[in-house]
A and B are shown apart, each in its own frame.
Chain A
Amino acid sequence: MNIEDIKVMVCDDSMFARKSMVMFITSLGVKQIIEAADGQQAIDKYAENKPDVVFMDIVMPVVTGIDALIKIKETDPAARVIMASSIGTQQYLKSAIKAGAADFLQKPITNDQVKQILENVCKGVI
């Protein structure tokens, strides 16, 4: 798969975090980007769009990122969800891994980390 063909969902209640990541992902050539501002929107938009990879924050209103991850994995066990959170304590890491996260990025997330993830998605490594 080429980077132009992948569909990416960015879920974060912070407009700043969403816009920064969307801006960078767009610069890499990704054309299909879906944004979600809370966990419930992530669940709904995942079902609707079936993205190839999801970047998901944890601390969010309405439904947390971990709960959204569990729901998404229930409906699609092959879902690739990368937790991208400011809080990467042992407890959060364990919860994310247990819920089926493909990877965990601690904020502030660098462009290189995002690029690496997307390249791995293209290669089918994640």
Chain B
Amino acid sequence: MVSSTPSPPRTPAAEPGDAPPRRPPRRGERPRTGPRTGRADRITLGLMLGVPALLVIALVWLPAAATVVLSFTRWDGIGGLDTIEWVGTRNYTDAFTIYPPFRPALSNNVVWLVFLFAVPTLLGMFLAVLLDRELRGGRIYQSVFYMPVVLSLALVGFIWQLIYSRDQGLLNTVLGAVAGAEPVDWFGDPDINLYAVLIAAAWRHTGYIMLLYLAGLKAVDPSLREAAAIDGAGPVRTFVSVVFPALRPINLVVLVVTVIDALRAFDIVWVINRGRNGLELISALVTSNVIGEASRVGFGSALAVVMLVISLVFILVYVSTMLRGAHR
């Protein structure tokens, strides 16, 4: 695969992340989109799409369907399928009526989503715009902001434990020394621990979004900005009216990435307290029900289906937007 159809060579300066001399876009760089006539081409394409499609169906769609089926059962995941007991919609009624962590989990996921859009996404975009101006040491800033994204989950949990610990944490020590404040129970107080954790999540998300926008900004045709500047637009106006609309594909990606991140949010709360006591998230509830010795596979599946339905709403919105965009 690697050695077939070599793509036109690119100068290293075209790679994102380097400081490129701005140049007009080259003509003829777009791939051919016309109809393919070659038989070999069709077979190759069919294989290259068909094999991954089969894999995705086998590894993603079938398990998802199995989850839906299992959500109507009571099963501990041990033994043959004959040990499955059908309970109808009882798992769903249980989740909505007698399972106390469920509602907090739903609302926490919503708070998580809103917060991710409100703070780290905007902040990441802002940082990207700043870094796109080729400051001295821009790469260093970039690495600093991106670093949290690549840290392992265990390390992230440990770092925030050092900061937020009530008795020995950095934050309370500083607050106590500077303002003489009473120690705050950042992780244990269910009214604030979600926000404390959201800061930690934002710390990771910002770098990610920043990198996406940085790549997007590098691809924006500089002549657009020049034209805007000639027309007398200031930097803010240029960004809002010219650059931001030109970033539409990246905006869509960021939208999807953020929604997915909010729904999958899991690792930090799991490290802190297994997603309990104010940090309930649907993903953590699914996990705590399904793992362990006597897993409640049926009940956990019902929770997973709820999560799936919510994701589907966003996925449908995304796909329909994309399709409408393609038809225009």
* Genuine A/B complex: no
